[in-house]
Amino acid sequence: MIDWKPLILTFELAVVTTAILLLVSIPLAYWLVASRSRLKPVIETLVSMPLVLPPTVLGFYFLVAFSPGNAFGSWLNEWLGIKLVFSFTGLVIASVLYSLPFMVHPIQSGLSGLPPSLTEAAYVMGKSTFTTLLKVQLPNIKASLLTGIVLAFAHTIGEFGVVLMIGGNIPGKTKVASIAIYDEVEALNYGVANVYSLILFCLTFFILLTVYLVNGGYLKRFWK
């Protein structure tokens, strides 16, 4: 018998995480492209660290930081009434930080590839920095935006170590599909684990295929 709650929770987590990442990553990527600050290499390093660090390392530090036994976690719990450990909110925050480079890097690459004359022309016409970004630069990097959105969404769906450390394994609350697969394999329920795995495999395959088709212009050629 398939429990659909882990899959539904996984998609909810991926949608919320991707939406937050899009809002956070656009100004961050813009700053990384435009800034000449000495802190830029440090910020770039911090953004990229989830690419090379084991998920359990990040998950452990998130668990320590968010725990009520820690000063920060205790402050959140007592003054704001926010409990991040073993909660969906904690999963979202951990997922945003863990998937950050998958959204920031494509957008940063897209902005870096724009010709300087495009931005300069907007400034000459009296456009503000925000207006230039919103109406000139972002519309010209749609492929990069799409790539970032899809990579962040797919990466969040496949998370295991981070969500297990910070969220635990609470059915209906923090038990996402990747953890459900692990549980079913441990219980030797390979049939159920296969269903979960196949659904995630097909979903991520078609999402990534769509990106390659759109960015490669194959769909436009097909409809001509």
Query: What is the reported pLDDT for 127?
Result: 84
Please report the pLDDT score of residue 83 as a whole number.
81
Give the model's pLDDT for residue 220: 55
Among 17-26, 49-58, 185-194, 214-223, top mean pLDDT goes to 17-26
* Residues whose CB is less than 8 angstroms from the CB of residue 102 and which lie 6 or more positions away in sequence, other chains included: 148, 151, 152, 155
Predicted local distance difference test score (pLDDT) of residue 22: 96
* Other CB atoms within 10 A of residue 2 CB: 13
pLDDT tens column, 82-132: 788 888 988 999 999 999 999 999 999 999 999 888 888 888 888 888 888
pLDDT at 224 over 80: no
pLDDT in tens, 175-210: 999 999 999 999 999 999 999 999 999 988 988 888
Mean of the per-residue pLDDT values of the chain: 88
Which pLDDT value is given to residue 218?
Answer: 61
Confirm or reject CATH 3.40.50.1000 for domain 5-223, answering yes or no: no
